[in-house]
Structure 1
Amino acid sequence: MEFIINEATFSLPCRSFVIDYAVSERRKLAVVKEFTIRLLYALKGISPERVANYFGFTVEETQIVLASLQEERLIKWVDGQVELTTYAYDRFEEVKGRAEPRFFEVEDKVDSVTFDLLTFKLIAESSSGSISPTNMEIPLPNNAMNNLVKKAKSAFDKQFNTFVEKLKGIDTYSNPIELYKINQVYNRNDRLVPVRIQYVVTDETASAPSIRYVDEWMEEWDEDKSLYSAICEQTESVGIAQTNIGVALDEYVSLTRDPIILNFFRKDRFDFCAALKTFESNKGIFELETRMLVGNFYLDHNRELIHSLLDYKFGNEAKVPGKGILWNIEPSDKVWGRCPDAESFLQSLEQRLDERKRPLRTVMTIKVNSKSDSFKVKERYGIFRCDFQGLNKHIGNSQVEILLIPGVLVACSFHFILENNYPLTLPIGFVTTAEDRITNVENALRQALGNPAHSNEYFEKFDVERDNTVLESKIFKILGG
C-alpha cells in the first residue's frame, strides 16, 4: 500500500516571450487550377487552345485560369506555349508511384510562448497548483539568465511541433505546418509555474520516499528528469539522521499520551514497516473515537478522517463548540505546509467553529529566537490568516506537532527524521475526539504556555499592552483559563 506522507508545491521560474514568426502550410489549389497543373506536368508544354479544348473552356475562361496561375508563379510562357515554372515542378512529390502536387503558402504570425528557465522547455499545459508564499523555490544555475532571447529562439525552433500541437491544438499529421523562419523574439515577462508533487512511501520503503508529480502531464514534460532531480536535491541531506529517538519519543508520548506509537518502538528503533502494515490492516482504527494518522494533518486522506470524526460526534457538517484552534509546529526547517492544502485544511476547520461561541479562530505556536525569525514565519505562513505565538522552548521537542480544538478534537504527530531526506519528515500519530484524551493534551498545553519562561513576544507589535497580546487575549481564552 502506498502512503502519501506530504505534498509540496514548487515554484518553477519561467519567462514568456513574444515571437514573430512565419509558417508554411500546405494548401489545396482550386480543382480547375490543380488539374491544369497536372496536365501541364504530364505534357510539359502545350498551347492555350489545347488547354481550352481539354477542359471545354471558352477563350475567356482559359485566359482567367492561366492569368491566375501566372500570378502565382506556377506557369510561364515560352514561344506561345504554356509551361510549368521550376517552382511548380519542384512542388510535385512521388506518392505511391505517381506524382502529386504539394503547394505551400507562407503566413506571418505572432504568439506569446513560455519556457521554464531551468531547462528551457515549452510550458504548454496548465498546472493544478497555485502560486503562494508557502511554495518552495527551485534554484536556477548561475548562467540561467544569460542570452535568454537566443535561447528562446533556439527552443522555439526545436519544439515547434509541440507548440503547434499542444498550444494551437493542430493535428500536424493531417494538417502539416512547418516553421518557415523566426523574424523577431521579444522578452515579455517573468512568471512562476506551480509544480505540485507528492512524497510517497510504502511499508517496505518508509525510509526512502519517492517523489511523483500530481499533474500527469509533468511526467512526459520532464522526460529527462532534470526538474525531478532539482526537486530531489531540496530534500537530500547526506548524513542527517534521527538521533536519540528513544528520548524524543518519550517526550512526545509524555506530552500527548499517544496510545499507539510506542507499539512499534522496539529495541531502540522504530519499526516503520510494522506501523504501516498495521495501519493498512485495520485502516487506522484504534478505538471508535481514536484513529492512527500517517502523513501530515492537511493531506486529503487525513483531512477527510478528521472531519468524519467531527461528523460522527457532532453531526454531519455540524458546527462544533470550540473557542478556537491551537496548532503547535516547528516548520522552519521542514517540508511542512508548503502547499495550498494546509491553508484550505485550516479554513475548513475554522468554518466548523460555532459562531455563537465567538470563536477566536487559530493561533500557531512556533519557536522563534528573534524578531527577524518571526518576520520570516509570517512572510511564509501569513497566508493562513491566523495569529502567531512565539516560544522560547519547544513544546515537547522540535518533532512534536499538535492541533487542538479544546473540548472537541486533538491530533498529534511525531515527525520522524528520514535519513538523507531531511527536511522531509514522516509524521505518525493519532487523532481523537475522546474527551479524556483531549483533556490530557489541553492540560499539558495549558501548563507549558502558562509558564512565562516558555513564551516570547517576537510576533507582537511594538508597545502592545500585555492584556492585548495573543497569549493573554486569545490562547488562554481558547484553553478556557
Structure 2
Amino acid sequence: MAKETNHNEIVVDTFEYLLPARNFKIIAAVTKERLIPLTMEYSLLVLHTLKWATAEDLQSYFGLSKKETGVLLHDLMMAGYVSEEDGGLALTQSGQSLFRESDGDPIITEVAELDKLVTFDLLSVSLPLGNSPGYRQKFAPYMRTIDELAADKEIASNAIDHVRASFQEETFREFNDKFGDGRATTLYSIDYVEPLDVLSLPMSIPIKASINGEVIVEPDFTDLLEAGRVGRSREPIIVAIMQKLRSYRWPRDSQDAFAWLASCDHQLLSQFVTSTSFDLEACISFILSGRKSALAVDGVTEFFIGSSTSDGFMKAYDAVEKSLSLTANDRLIWVAPDYPLWGKGEQFDATARKLREGDGEAAFAIALKGEYPPDHISEGKKLTKRYKDRRDTLLFDEMVLFPLDSIAGSLEIILRPGKFAAVIVYVAHTDPDRLPVPVGFITADASVVHDVHAALSDSLVHRDKWTSVFPNGKGVNILYDKVHSIPKPEKPRAEE
C-alpha cells in the first residue's frame, strides 16, 4: 500500500487502472564501447601523450620481448590506429579519434545489433514504468475490477510510425538506462519494427488529501511527471486519468450519512456535526492529534483518514483487531458506498482477504451494494464477473443488491457482528467535480458495534427488494437473516 507522507499530505486512496499497451519487436543497430587489451590501450595512451615513439621505447616501457612487441605493433597497425613515421610510430587520424577530450581515455566502439521485445503504452508511446523491457500478459482476477483507459486511436492505428519516432528520440536513452549492458551506447539506426500482442498493464497512482486550510483530495502524478522524456512524456496518460476521474459520479449525500450516524455512533464522528454542516477541519485536526475519544470506553476505538484500502484504515484495523478473538464462525458484513473506486484493484482484494481472516480460515462474507432497481440485472452480471468468475478464492461468499435510497451512498459500513464495526463517510466537497474526503472510525466498543448493526438492520428491512447477485447462491431469506441477526456483544480482550 502507498505510504503516508506528512500531516499536510495524506494518502487516502489509490486509483488503479489498466494502461493500454502493445509489445513490439525492435531490431536496431547500436554503437557500443568495445573492450580492448590492456597493453594495446596503454600503447595508445603512450603514443597519444608523446606524439611519437620507437618500437624499442614501447618494448622497454612494457617489458616485452621483441616477438611480443612485434605482435602488439601488428595488431595496432592492422586496426588502423598506428602507422610508421620518421623511423618510429605515431597515431593515425583513426587512432586520434579514439580519445575523448574530457577524460583522455581511448574508446573503441563497434556497431552491434539490438533485438528486443519492447513495450510501449498506446497513449503517450512511452515505456511503461517497470523493470521489464517487454511485458507478458498475466491475468489476475483483480484486473477484472478496474477500468481501462482508452487508447489513442491515431496512435493505435499508426503504431509503427509512432514507435519509430519515440524510440529514435529520448525513449532509447531511458530504455538503455534500464536495460542496457552498462557500456555507453547510442542508437545508430532502427531497422525493423513489428507490432505484436496488445495488452493491458495494471498501474496505480496515489490519491492524496492536502490539508492546508481547505482539504483538497486529488491524484498525485509526481511519479509519472518525473519519469521519461523531459519529465512530461506521459502527460497524455495524466490527461486520460483526469478524464476518467471526472466521468465518475461521486457521492453527494454525506449530510444524510451523518444524520444516520447520529442514531448509532455514540458521537464518535457525529460530534463534529454542527447545526448546518460537518466540521471537516475539526474532525481531521482531532484525528491527526492522535487523541483518544472519551466517548467509546468499552473497547479499542481508532479514527482514520482514508478509504477502506488506505494505510490509515489498515493501521486502525490492526490496532482494534489485536483486542479481539476473530474466528471463522464470524460473519463479515460489508455495505459498499456509492463510491466509484470501491471494490476495485489489487489493494481492495488484499483488504477483503485481511478482514475475513479468523483462526486460520476465512469468515463468511456478504457484500451489500445499493443500486437503482432497473440496473439490478446488468449490475448483478457485472459484479459476478468481477467477484466470482475465474476466482479460486472468493472475496465475498454472497453479494446482495438493495435499493440505493435505503442508506446514504456516502456511507461505507464494515461489520463483524459482535466483534467490531467500521464506518467511513465520504465527505462531499462543495465542488461536485472534486473527490470526497473519506474519514472514519473502527471500534470494538460493544455498545457501538451493537447500535451500528441495529441501525443498519433498520435501514434494510425490505427483503422483498433485495436481489441475490451470484448464480446458485443462498436465497435472499437466508442472507437477510444473516445480516439482521444481531448477536450478544462480545467483550473485547483487555490490552496487555
Shorter-chain TM-score category?
0.7 to 0.9
CA RMSD between the two structures: 3.9
**What is the rounded CA distance, in whole Å, between the counterparts of 2:219 and 2:448 in structure 1?**
35
Matched, 1:164 2:164: no
Work out which of the residue numbers 206, 209, 218 in structure 2 matches 1:210: 218
Deviates more, 1:232-241 or 1:430-439: 232-241
**What is the rounded CA distance, in whole Å, between the counterparts of 2:26 and 2:196 in structure 1?**
10
Match of 2:321 in 1: 310
Match of 2:241 in 1: 231
Match of 1:253 in 2: 262
Matched, 1:21 2:32: no
Work out which of the residue numbers 359, 364, 367 in structure 2 matches 1:364: 367
Q: What is the one-letter code of the residue matched to 2:187?
A: L
Report if aligned partners of 2:59, 2:66 keep a CA contact under 8 Å in 1.
Answer: no
Matched, 1:374 2:380: yes
**What is the rounded CA distance, in whole Å, between the counterparts of 1:3 and 1:177 in structure 2?**
41
**What is the rounded CA distance, in whole Å, between the counterparts of 2:21 and 2:439 in structure 1?**
37
How many percent of aligned residue pairs carry the same amino acid? 19
Q: CA deviation at 1:14?
A: 2.3
Q: What number of residue pairs does the alignment pair up?
A: 452
Q: CA deviation at 1:363?
A: 0.8
**What is the rounded CA distance, in whole Å, between the counterparts of 2:256 and 2:50 in structure 1?**
97
* Structure 1 segment 5-44 matched on structure 2, within 5 A: 5-27=12-34, 29-30=36-37, 33=40
Structure 1 residues 36, 310: closer, same or farther in 2, change over 3 A?
closer
Q: CA deviation at 1:36?
A: 6.5
Q: CA deviation at 1:388?
A: 0.6
* Structure 1 segment 122-201 matched on structure 2, within 5 A: 122-123=127-128, 125-126=130-131, 132-158=143-169, 159-168=171-180, 170=182, 175-201=183-209
Q: CA deviation at 1:350?
A: 1.5
* Structure 1 segment 90-105 matched on structure 2, within 5 A: 90-91=97-98, 94=101, 101-105=106-110
Report if aligned partners of 1:203, 1:277 keep a CA contact under 8 Å in 2.
Answer: no
Q: What is the one-letter code of the residue matched to 1:311?
A: K
Q: CA deviation at 1:169?
A: 5.8
Report if aligned partners of 2:272, 2:283 keep a CA contact under 8 Å in 1.
Answer: yes
Work out which of the residue numbers 385, 405, 423 in structure 1 matches 2:395: 385
Work out which of the residue numbers 282, 287, 291 in structure 1 matches 2:296: 287
Q: CA deviation at 1:221?
A: 0.9
Deviates more, 1:388-397 or 1:87-96: 87-96
**What is the rounded CA distance, in whole Å, between the counterparts of 2:95 and 2:404 in structure 1?**
84
Report if aligned partners of 1:325, 1:478 keep a CA contact under 8 Å in 2.
Answer: no
Report if aligned partners of 1:24, 1:179 keep a CA contact under 8 Å in 2.
Answer: yes
Report if aligned partners of 2:328, 2:359 keep a CA contact under 8 Å in 1.
Answer: yes
Write out per-residue CA displacement over residues 19-47 of structure 1, whole angstroms, 9 at most, x where no aligned residue.
2223223345445555766788899999x
Deviates more, 1:295-304 or 1:118-127: 118-127
**What is the rounded CA distance, in whole Å, between the counterparts of 2:49 and 2:417 in structure 1?**
92
Matched, 1:401 2:406: no
Report if aligned partners of 2:43, 2:58 keep a CA contact under 8 Å in 1.
Answer: no
Match of 2:354 in 1: 348
* Structure 1 segment 423-442 matched on structure 2, within 5 A: 424-442=435-453
Q: CA deviation at 1:83?
A: 8.4
Structure 1 residues 134, 423: closer, same or farther in 2, change over 3 A?
farther
**What is the rounded CA distance, in whole Å, between the counterparts of 2:405 and 2:449 in structure 1?**
20
Report if aligned partners of 1:203, 1:274 keep a CA contact under 8 Å in 2.
Answer: no
Matched, 1:3 2:13: no
Match of 2:481 in 1: 476
**What is the rounded CA distance, in whole Å, between the counterparts of 1:71 and 1:404 in structure 2?**
82
User: SS state of the match for residue 209, structure 2?
Assistant: strand
Q: What is the one-letter code of the residue matched to 1:397?
A: A
Report if aligned partners of 1:284, 1:293 keep a CA contact under 8 Å in 2.
Answer: no
User: SS state of the match for residue 469, structure 1?
Assistant: coil
Report if aligned partners of 1:322, 1:407 keep a CA contact under 8 Å in 2.
Answer: no
Q: CA deviation at 1:5?
A: 2.4
User: SS state of the match for residue 262, structure 2?
Assistant: helix
User: SS state of the match for residue 455, structure 2?
Assistant: helix
**What is the rounded CA distance, in whole Å, between the counterparts of 1:209 and 1:19 in structure 2?**
41
**What is the rounded CA distance, in whole Å, between the counterparts of 1:3 and 1:337 in structure 2?**
21
Report if aligned partners of 1:296, 1:427 keep a CA contact under 8 Å in 2.
Answer: yes
Match of 2:121 in 1: 116
**What is the rounded CA distance, in whole Å, between the counterparts of 2:273 and 2:327 in structure 1?**
35
Q: CA deviation at 1:241?
A: 8.4
**What is the rounded CA distance, in whole Å, between the counterparts of 2:50 and 2:99 in structure 1?**
14
Report if aligned partners of 1:91, 1:103 keep a CA contact under 8 Å in 2.
Answer: yes
Q: What is the one-letter code of the residue matched to 1:300?
A: D
**What is the rounded CA distance, in whole Å, between the counterparts of 1:144 and 1:420 in structure 2?**
34
Q: Structure 1: 5+ residue runs without aligned partners?
A: none
Report if aligned partners of 2:250, 2:340 keep a CA contact under 8 Å in 1.
Answer: no
Q: CA deviation at 1:248?
A: 4.9
Q: Structure 2: 5+ residue runs without aligned partners?
A: 1-6, 133-139, 487-496
Structure 1 residues 92, 120: closer, same or farther in 2, change over 3 A?
same
**Structure 1 length as normaliser, TM-score?**
0.78
Q: What is the one-letter code of the residue matched to 2:382?
A: K
**What is the rounded CA distance, in whole Å, between the counterparts of 1:351 and 1:101 in structure 2?**
64
**What is the rounded CA distance, in whole Å, between the counterparts of 1:138 and 1:52 in structure 2?**
71
* Structure 1 segment 54-65 matched on structure 2, within 5 A: 55=59, 64-65=71-72
Structure with higher Rg: it is 1
Q: CA deviation at 1:66?
A: 5.2
Report if aligned partners of 1:239, 1:419 keep a CA contact under 8 Å in 2.
Answer: no
Report if aligned partners of 1:363, 1:389 keep a CA contact under 8 Å in 2.
Answer: yes
Q: What is the one-letter code of the residue matched to 1:444?
A: A
**What is the rounded CA distance, in whole Å, between the counterparts of 1:240 and 1:340 in structure 2?**
21
Match of 1:335 in 2: 341
**What is the rounded CA distance, in whole Å, between the counterparts of 1:126 and 1:62 in structure 2?**
47
Structure 1 residues 124, 300: closer, same or farther in 2, change over 3 A?
closer
Report if aligned partners of 1:19, 1:112 keep a CA contact under 8 Å in 2.
Answer: yes
Q: CA deviation at 1:67?
A: 4.7
**What is the rounded CA distance, in whole Å, between the counterparts of 2:370 and 2:244 in structure 1?**
23
Report if aligned partners of 1:8, 1:337 keep a CA contact under 8 Å in 2.
Answer: no
Write out per-residue CA displacement over residues 364-396 of structure 1, whole angstroms, 9 at most, x where no aligned residue.
111233311111223334465311112134432
